[in-house]
Structures are given as structure tokens and as C-alpha cells.
Structure 1
């Protein structure tokens, strides 16, 4: 397969994808109800984008092309309501969160599609361990070269995106000590992590052809990078976020990314360089492990400070752009969360401290998703 041409799209438009958990309502473990839920959704006759994920007990919902925070929220909310209504008919629950608190990957079943079967054959048990749940945000780009430049500019803010969305402290019944343990599963895959520093589509095409020649890449889907180009959509796709516990939070994170993109595109505070990636893995780990209290190392001046300070500083810089995009209220809500250290991972731990039951934590996640 040749690298497809990059389709031009309207700059700063958004598309949001959320991977969701389907659970039973007696012990709140994952339940193999994906096929039944999709069947009921189809009967509604709506033009909703809801599809299976790699294992049973997962679905992915996606917006169409959005122009604003309000548009993202409206589309997500409509699909959310439809999914909840169908789930109620099946007597199952739906929730956000980057991991299910106590499911065991060995009990999962691969959803039967040619691609998922191929991934299972290639990756073995890792395919079932990929029963994790993320938010992906697509950002429209006018042309391919601009898209690649934006990809590398946004890569400096990967820790921000991780900390703001972190909602996966529990894995297989254990508190991992991480705010986002979900990304530990992603790191296991080859071709995960950062994209190579290539800033023209012609050069990227040469890189893609070289990877194809090795036999380990067949399409862009084989790259599990934190941010990757999606040439068929004319976007770049930010992929590091956990699925938040609410639609409101998911829309706010999309608004933050849109406002940040406008700042980077119009003000161009700097140009990408390879040395920006010297601290990339360290900053990423700190965000996963400690959330807002992680250490952020500035790759340009080597300053160390807390990730919360770095996020607040970023929110200050992008505020005029958030106002222009009518995303200022969404960004202000994120600011309040950072100032009070009240993220989703902390909320989940608080619920467990109160109930001493991970099943009740998942039950509360389902109630929060509905709200």
C-alpha cells in the first residue's frame, strides 16, 4: 500500500473519539455485549459513528467534523444518550475511564473482524491486554507539511494531555500507583511512542516506503505513535489521553487542544527540533506516574517545575485563542481542576477509599457517565 495523499481540511476543526467500557450490572465486570449494543443502535436509524474495538466489552463512539467546543459537546452528548438508552435495554452499564478496574485480560474475547484477528495473531496476548480505553482528538490541517510541523509542536505538550485526562489508576484489581496506567499497555507495542522528526510529506512518504519495504508496516494504522497523521481525514490525531469519566471533560480536553493549536499555528513561538525530544520519555513517564504533581523538564531551558505549574502557564498563554474560539469557559474549568488537583484518577481513588469495593467504583463510574 502506498502512502495516501493528504486531504486538505479546514484548519482547527475537530473530531473526537472515545473508547467506552461495557459492564454487567451484577458485579460490574466487562461484558461481551458489543454486538448486541451495536445492533440496537443501528435500529435507531441515526447517523452515529459507533463501532467495535479489539475485544468484546468495548465500543468506540466518534463525532463528525466539529468547529467548536459546543459542537463537540453537543455531538458527544447525543451519542452518549443513545448508547445509554440501548445499554439500559440490555441491562448493562457504560462508563469512561482509561482502564477497567479489575477485569482480567485473559478472559477477554477478540472481536471477530479480519484486522482484529490479524492483530491477535501478530501480537499474541498483547492484543487482549489492549483492552484499554482512550480519547483521540483529530485536528484539521490545511496541508500535509503544516500537519507534520503541528504534530511536532504539539508533542511538547504530551505530558499536559496525559495529566489532564488521567483516569486509569487501577489494573486487574490493583492500585498501580500511576495516574494513567493505561499507557503502560500502549508502550508494549512496537512503533509506539514518538513520531520521527520529519516535516515534509515528501520525506514522510520516503520514510513510509522504507518501513513498508521492511515488511513490518502495511498502513498508517500500524503506527501507534502518541500523535500520528491521518492523511485520509486531513488531520493529525492526538492519541495519549485516557477516556475521561464524563462527556463534559472530554469536550474540554478537545477545546484545550484546539486552543493550543491556534496558539502554536498563529504565534509560532518556536520551530521543532530534535533536541526537544531529549526529555520526551521522562516527561511522559512523570505525567503517567504522578499526574499534575509530576516533574516537567523544559527541553529548551532545562528548567524543572511541576506539571501543574506548566499546565497553568500554558493555559495563560493560550487564553486569547481560547476566547477567540469560544473555548475559554472549557479551559477555565480545566484550570480549576488543576488548581484543586481534582482529576479523574484522584476521584476514582476517593471512591475506592469510601467503598473499599472496585465493583462499586465501576458502578459509580457508570452513574457519572450517565449524568
Structure 2
């Protein structure tokens, strides 16, 4: 709107001035043109030099009122040209004061004109003022929305950064834990298995030396070496098992285990629908899905008396969605979040996910988690 403001302002001066020459018969067109150019000069002074001058604004309003009263025609539109200059710059109280002054001078300048002139002039000036105020309010709302959007975007970036720092911290903790475990296992191998193998090597060499002379003693030592080798092999197997957890340890927090356990304990029917191409999840994501499904099914049995639960897993590129619905009785009235529901929501939001609850039948709980996958 700013680039068009000077054009509109001077159009509201020149168009009425030119039209008034054809509508009215002036004693001296030269004098009339001089006063119009003088008014344009005052307007230009205000635009270039005296932008915030109240006195210059009063001069322009008074000069415009004098021109309108002396030359009649359409010069009452000069008030509309002046109105454009202060409605966006001065304080509200000053704007209203000047607008009231313009209305008074407008009606005084139209003295002797037909009543239709009064109606048209007042309606035009009032409608223009209301339109400009509305446009100004829209502009302010746009600025406020842009500022709010910038704040939300900055907070979104800060939240993403905090979430990435949290994930990085979790990875560092995991790496440190793995490093400590590896160090412990290496010490066990060095202290137990290494020393035991050295002792067996020495016993084997001693048995080889005495075997020709003392057959029974040498066989006894070889038998002892064999038994200790068996113990060393068992020690080695247990160390390897610690390096690679067994299937039970790896699948502690899987939906299959959860469904199997809840089905046996409560006799409830649970079916799973998988959509999309499944992929390996981070242990933290699998844990959150496990706990949220566990809490949702437990609540369905305890509070809704459900006998059937449907779990839907949707694998997408950047997120995974788990939808848990049941045929139980939906809660009556407004749902109050208990510790279980609050825990589900906190676990989801911790890594940037969301939890949605649909209270209408069938009652359902939806968990949406970002997967942080690197796609190529």
C-alpha cells in the first residue's frame, strides 16, 4: 500500500481540481490553478519534510477547507487526500481529533450547496476513513501474525535442536555403556580365560616331559588339562553370549511378546494389522510403542471391559503410527487424564511424537513417533 499512497493522494487532488473547471465557472482560471498548485506544494512539503508536523497538517486541512468553500465543485474531495496522510501515522486520539475537524470544515465549506452534496461528501469521507482503518487493522494483524510465526518457527528450531541434542546424548550414553561393557569383557577374558590358557599350556608342556618316564602321572595331567579346557570353553561361550544378547533379551519390548502375555493372562483377542514396509526401529522407539500399547490395552480391559483389541501399525518414511482401538465401553463425559495416559503422552512428546485419543466408539489411542531415518 505504501508505493500507491502518493499516487492516490495526488489523484484525489488533481482529478477533482480538473473536473471542477468543467463543472463551475470561475472568475479567473489562472488564480484557481495557482491555488491548486499551492495546495500540491503544501502537500509535497508535508510528504518530504514535515511528515510528523501537526501544524503543517492543520495548515493543509484549513487550506483545503478554504479552497472547497471558495471554489465549490468537487474540491471537497481534497479532505480525502489529506485523510490518507495522517490516518496511519499519528496516535489514535490525534487521528480522531483531526477527522472531527475535517468533518466540521467539510460541512462549513459546503454552505449553500444542495443537500445531496452534504450527504455525498460526508458519506465519502466517513466510508474512506472506515475503509482505511480496516486496512490498517488488517496490516497490523498481518504484522502480528508474521511475528508470531517467526517466534513459533524459532521455537520449533530450538525444539528440534534440543531433540537432536537429546538423541545425541542418548547415543553417547549408549556408546559409553557399550564401551564399559566391552572393557569389562576384555578384562574377564584377560584375567580368567587368558590366565587359564597359560596355565594349561604349562601343564601340557610338563605332561609331555614326564609322559615317557611316568605314563600314569602324564595321563593324569592330560586328563586334568582336558577338564580345564572344557571349563575354558564354557567360559568362552558365556562371554560370547554376553557380547550378543539372546533372542529373549532382544525381544523383551516387542508387540508379539506383549500380545502373547496379555492374551494368556486376560483371555482377550488381539489382532495386528501392519501397513507399509516394516523396518528396524531404534530401541527407544520400540520401548515407547510397547509401553503405550500395554497401557492402552490395560485401560481397555480395566475401564472399558473390552474383549477385542485391534492394533494397526503404519510404517512411513519419516514416522511410525500405532493405532490401538477396542470394542469396550467409551468413557462417559469428559475424559480425565490419569497417570497412565499422562505417561503415554510424556513418553511420546519426549522424542517429538504426539498422542491422540478418540473417545467415541470405538475408543482408540493413536501414537505417532518420528523415526529419524536417513533415506537415500
Q: Same fold (TM over 0.5)?
A: no
Larger radius of gyration: 2
Of Structure 1 and Structure 2, the greater helix share is in 2
TM-score (norm 1): 0.23
Give the number of the structure whose residues are more often strand, by fraction. 1
Greater relative CO, 1 or 2 (CA 8 Å, sep 6+):
1
Q: Structure 2 length as normaliser, TM-score?
A: 0.23
